[in-house]
Structure 1
Amino acid sequence: MGRVVLDTSFSSHDAEELWASLTTEEARRLAGLLLYQAAAVDPGAPEAPGVVEVLPVAGDAYAIRIRGHELTVDQPLTDGGKDTAPTPVELFVAAVASCAAHYAGRFLDRHGAGRAGLRVRAQFRMAADRPARVASLSLTVVAPQLPTERLAALRAVVSHCTVTNSMASPPEMELRVSRDGGV
């Protein structure tokens, strides 16, 4: 089992080194808690709605800042990354699945069915040809509390979540490249 060593010394000559050996799960949990606490005390004002900023962290890892929240993306080891976080494509699929879950949850609430056992599973396949893209995406919504006769209505609602609608009617996209940050 691999372990992550957390060394808190400030320089290589610190006499009183403090370090911890963590499992990968413990390290990820600690990182999440640190990010959560940092966001709580960050004096910077959160970005306005509709603004996302992406900054390099290390190697192929990037921090994504959204309204005071921070996510990280990376690439798998097989693609040259360190596999410290999901890939941007996985976040894209997660956006579809989590949007579907949100719509399903609201539907269940409106119909008094409860969210107990609600689950959305997304499976995707990358295209074999160019350009690089997700070729297929399959969602399965499990709603055990919902009566059978309401399943078709749930499907209709979930199939029109905001992210799915955005794929069906893609937004206009403009790309600018700059040297001075005037984007």
Structure 2
Amino acid sequence: MGRLDSILADITTLQVDAIVNAANQQLKGGGGVDGAIHRAAGAQELLAATAKFGGCATGDAVPTPGFRLPAKWIFHAVGPVWSVARGGSAAEDRADSLLASCYRRCIELAREHDVCSIAFPAISTGIYRFPPDRAARIAVATVNEVLDESGVEEVIFCAFNDETHALYCDLLR
């Protein structure tokens, strides 16, 4: 089984085979980690590479080169938007399933592209407002489910703040 770890860092600086971008459905960059990845990778090159996909469905992910990043690959995963206004446990269960699908799909892409090390941000927990503790549990559980058959040796959950880092550290103990 691969090694799972949590770090507090800027995901764009990590020396891994692939990083995951918490992307939007249009794959056109945005705020948060998405904007940071586009700026660091080279926005024009990255936009040209993502344009060929014509977007990406929620729960799915697509690969592009890392361009100016230390990582060889960027896997652009589109997580669900959390909205209490949608209401009810059915909406929550659907959001959970879509978030898990993001992590599962990125591990599949890792296998397809011979990736040994991959770093994930906390997908959907920024402007998409997915509860961070719930998202962390889904992320760790999903990666643990699919990691053995993937060939991935190292998974890093890259946190952008102390609170998120603490959530992952607790789950990985």
TM superposition score category, shorter chain reference: under 0.3
> What TM-score results when the alignment is normalised by the length of structure 1?
0.23
Considering fraction of residues, name the structure with more helix.
Answer: 2
> What TM-score results when the alignment is normalised by the length of structure 2?
0.24
